[in-house]
Structure formats: C-alpha cells, structure tokens
Amino acid sequence: MLSVVLVILALIACAQSYNGPHPIFADFDALSEEFIDHINSLDTSWKAGQNFPGKKEEDVRHLCGTLEPELNDSLEADIDDDPPTIDYDALPASFDARTRWPKCNSSISTISDQDNCGNCWAFGSAFAINDRYCINNMGTLQLSVQYITSCCARAYRYNGCGGAKISTAYACWQKYGIPTGGQFGSNYGCQPYTIKDCPRGNGNNDVTFSGCTVNKETSDTPPCSECCDAGYPKQLNDDRHFAKSYYQLKSNNAPAIQAEIYAHGPVTLTFYVYQDFMNYKSGVYKYTSGKYIGKHAVKIIGWGLEDCLPYWLAVNSWGPQWGDNGFFKILRGSNNCKIESYGMAGIPKS
C-alpha cells in the first residue's frame, strides 16, 4: 500500500514540475479567453492576448496554408552551395535588417494582411523578395501577391488560398516572372491584392469592402488573370520581374540562416503552428499549449536575445492588430516548432 502511495505522490510531483507543452484546453476554442488565461498562467517566456476579437478558431486556422516540401520535388532548389563567407562567430548578438539597411525600412517594416485566404506561403515569400530588391539598389518594389496566389499556384497545380509551398512562389519568380501589385485597396502596380475578409465580431456582417467574403472559412482563390488592372500603364508581360537565383537554406543550421540574412537580407522560413500561437502578443514565443493546426510561412528580418533567450525577429501576415503590431519573436537555435527546418531565399535579377 505504501508503495502505491509513493508512486502516486511521484506522479503528482512530476506533473507539477513538468515544463514541456501543456495540452490542456486542447478541445476548447483556441481564441477563447479561457485558453488565453491558461497560457498566461503558465508563466512562460511570452504573453498571450486576444488577436481576433469576435472570431472562432475555425475562422482563422486556415490562415496557415503552407504545405510540406516533398522529396525530389522539381520545385525545390538545391541547398545554397555558395553561402555567404561570414565567420559565424563574428555574427552580432542582435541584428535588425531595418537598421542595417535604413533606406529600405519602409519595405522591411511593412505589415501585410492575407485576410481570408490561406496564402501565407505567398506573403512570406513575396515580402522577403521585395526587401531584396531594395537592398540590391533596384528601387522600392512590391511583387503581386495576388498574381502569386492565383497564377503561380495554378501553374504548379495548387489552389492558392487552399495552400501551396514557399518554393511555389520562388520557382515562379525565376521561371515565369512576377508583376507588381500592392496590398488591398492600394491601387499600386499591375495586380493589387483583391481578397478582403468582411468585418466580424460586432454583429456586422455587411459587405463593406469590395471583394470581401462573408461567413466563409476561406475565400475562393481568385481566377488567374494575365492582364494588368485597367489604367495601369504597362502590359503584364512588360511588368514581370525575375530571380537571378533562388535556393534552400541549410536545414537546422541557425548560424547559416543568420549569415544569409546578414549578407543578403530577409528570408522566408516555415514552421509548425499550434493553437497557442494564434494568441501571441509579446515576448519570445515557444510552444506551450494546444494542438497542431497547420504550417505557416513568415519573413525573418533579424535576431536577438531577450531575458537570455535567443530569438528570431519575424514579420507575420495577419495584419497589424495581431501580435506585437504584426511582428513576433520566436525561439532561435533549438528548432522550436521546426522553425529552422526549411527556408528559402533568392537574389533578384537586374
């Protein structure tokens, strides 16, 4: 009997001292206040808060639309065989691309919003590429996420809002070229973004934005158009921009990824998303609680240390109301959520 009691006490002690992920509330809505309070009660390295007022988990989980890369996939570029010749030990403890290339601050700092479409793969890729045009003294350029979502995805047999791989965007950039296009309502470039989620959360489901989608989990992928919007002074074929090269980053090698950013600018990384990430507000994110919901792609612009924790500085595509004004920090160097497993970058063609 005594041995049974000791075993029970040991199990209780283990449960109380457990510092790994806490799958409590896994069957609750990830956006509920109860789940947010649970995360904050764990006293982890980050704080949770409400990012999607009035919405349910099923309204936003499709935003993680990045697909897994496949072995021997023709879209996958070779791993960079000519990495930057930088002494890894000489890399600074902290780095921010906005500081290194201040002339490109407006591009690097841009917060995008994929709205009601699972095309994070397109946003995370396009916005890293945009920065590299500026860094390479090719001017301020915005590639059309609309074209990538509709036409590039179709060229490689994907449903853009239903998901694709980041290599889809990079391969399309090199093979077909991508025209210009700004964010929703910008009227910038050949094909600006047209997908907009309707306002929700205040009992108002009216269509107040042209092209927005009411009460649907995800928008339909807009049809591919090989024409620029009316009034744009160029034909689409005269507005295409191409990659000189694109390549995979070294897997599970944080210093190599840092060297690439330090030498050439922001990159695109993918990672696994769990329910708790939807509620990130500040601090250094590491998986704490909840179920896996999908794979996500984001732009990485730097790194640093916070309370002795190494982190990547990332730019999300869920709007400025999400997280830390659209930015977030995620644990670096331990492949948290597989953040260092797969990434891509490229060099623009002049």
- Residue of 22, 62, 241, 296 with catalytic role: 296
Closest CA to 65 of 130, 146, 149: 149
Q: Both tokens of residue 214?
A: 């009411």
**In the prediction, which pLDDT does 73 show?**
56
Return d(Cα 128, Cα 77) in angstroms, integer.
17
| pLDDT value, residue 319 | 95
> Would you call 120 a catalytic residue per the annotation?
yes
Catalytic position from the list 51, 116, 119, 316: 316
Is residue 211 very low, low, confident or very high in pLDDT (cuts 50, 70, 90)?
very low
> What pLDDT band is residue 19 in, cutting at 50, 70 and 90?
very low
Token pair belonging to 335: 């492949």
- CA 339-340-341 angle, to 5 degrees, is 95
State the pLDDT at residue 349: 94
CB distance 228 to 234 below 8 Å: yes
104-161 pLDDT, tens digit each: 999 999 999 999 899 999 999 999 999 999 999 988 999 999 999 999 999 999 999 9
Nearest to residue 132, comparing CAs of 340, 346, 350?
346
Residue 78, Cβ density class (10 Å: 0-12 exposed, 13-18 middle, ≥19 buried): exposed
316 as an active site residue: the answer is yes
Name the active-site residue from 120, 172, 198, 337.
120
Domain boundaries, the chain: 25-30+44-348
Task: Give pLDDT, residue 263.
Answer: 94
Establish how many alpha carbons lie within 13 A of residue 82's alpha carbon, considering only the half-sphere containing its beta carbon.
5
Q: Find tokens 């769990």 and name the residue.
A: 274
Say what the pLDDT of residue 17 is.
Answer: 33
Is the pLDDT score of 203 beyond 60? no
pTM score, whole prediction = 0.87
Determine the pLDDT at residue 29: 87
Q: Which two tokens stand for residue 142?
A: 């915005």
284 forms beta bridges with 329
pLDDT band at residue 317, thresholds of 50, 70 and 90? very high
Q: Is the dihedral of CA 279, 118, 199, 325 positive or negative?
A: positive
| CB contact at 8 A, 249 and 344 | yes
Q: Is 116 a catalytic residue?
A: no
pLDDT, tens digit, for every residue of 29-58? 899 999 999 999 999 999 999 999 988 898
Predicted confidence (pLDDT) per residue in 246-286, tens digit:
999 999 999 999 999 999 999 999 999 999 999 999 999 99
Q: Are 30 and 278 in contact (CB under 8 A)?
A: yes
The answer on pLDDT for 65 being more than 80 is yes
User: Which CATH architecture does the domain made up of 25-30+44-348 adopt?
Assistant: Alpha-Beta Complex (3.90)
